[in-house]
Structure 1
Amino acid sequence: MTLECINPQDLPTPDTYTQVVVAKGTKLIFVSGQEPEDIHGKLVGRDDIAVQARQVFANLGRALAAAGALPKHVAKITIYVVDYRRDDHLPIIEAARVALFGDHKPADVVVGVASLSPGYLIEVDAFAVIDGQD
């Protein structure tokens, strides 16, 4: 599997994601939105975006592993945040993100939403590409 990460010279170079990702592989993996829930489906970290962010990225890692993928195979993520405030939320989200992805920087978008399930503050979905032998 090959992910070519491109930051065009005429666009800003982001610290935590890549402007363009070109994915070449044979197996596409689509991960549904991961919520801040434990293995029993119970909400983790009510009213605490940091706890919830860590949980959704940990859940994303487990979902990828179930499909035979690693975080480095992720081409794009979408992050949904209730009442998103960039200055307040972005550093918290980036810390949780780096815990899963390390130096890998998939393309991403952060979407502010009015609500998710009651008490849920964040959700993350993903798209990954691997070769059959990966």
Structure 2
Amino acid sequence: MALELINPDDLPVPEMYTQVVVATGSRMVFISGQQPEDLQGKLVGHGDFAAQARLAFANLGRALRAAGAQPKQVCKITIYIVGYNRDEHVPIIEEAQISLFGDHKPANVVIGVAMMSPGYLIEVDAIAVIDGATGR
């Protein structure tokens, strides 16, 4: 699997994502929105955006592993945030994202939403492209 990461000269170079990702591989993996839930499906970190962000990204990592995918094979993520405030939320998102992806920067979208289930503040989904049945 190969990802070509492109930041065109006539677009700004973002810190935490890549403007264009071209993926080549034989299998696409679509990860449903991962929420800040424990194994019993219970919300963790009620009212604590940082705790919820860390767990949502950790759960995303678990889902990727289940599909035989690695974080470096993710070409796009979408982050949904209740009451999105760039100044407040971006530093926390960056920290959680780096904990999963390191220096890999998939294309991303941040969407502010009015509400989710009560107490939930963030959800993250992903698309990865991997080669063959083994995910290499």
Same fold (TM over 0.5): yes
What is aligned with 2:129? 129
What is aligned with 1:61? 61
Letter in 1 for 2:21: V
What is aligned with 2:75? 75
- Give the drift of 1:40: 1.0
**TM-score, normalized by length of structure 2?**
0.98
Flag structure 1 segments of 5+ consecutive residues without an equivalent. Answer: none
SS at match of 1:54: helix
Which 4+ stretches in 1 moved above 6 angstroms? Answer: none
For residues 7-60 of structure 1, give each alpha carbon's deviation from its aligned partner in whole angstroms, at most 9, with x where no partner exists. Answer: 000000001100000000001000000000011111000000000000000000
For the residues of structure 1 that align with 2:20 and 2:115, how far apart are their CA atoms?
A: 29
Letter in 1 for 2:127: F
For the residues of structure 2 that align with 1:101 and 1:89, how far apart are their CA atoms?
A: 18
For the residues of structure 2 that align with 1:76 and 1:63, how far apart are their CA atoms?
A: 15
Letter in 2 for 1:111: I
**TM-score, normalized by length of structure 1?**
0.99
Percentage identity across paired residues of the two chains: 69
Residues 14-25 of structure 1 aligned to structure 2 (within 5 Å): 14-25=14-25
What is aligned with 1:37? 37
Give the total of aligned pairs. Answer: 134
Residues 41-52 of structure 1 aligned to structure 2 (within 5 Å): 41-52=41-52
Flag structure 2 segments of 5+ consecutive residues without an equivalent. Answer: none
CA RMSD of aligned residues (A): 0.5
Letter in 2 for 1:49: F
For residues 43-101 of structure 1, give each alpha carbon's deviation from its aligned partner in whole angstroms, at most 9, with x where no partner exists. Answer: 00000000000000000000000000000000000000000000000000110000000
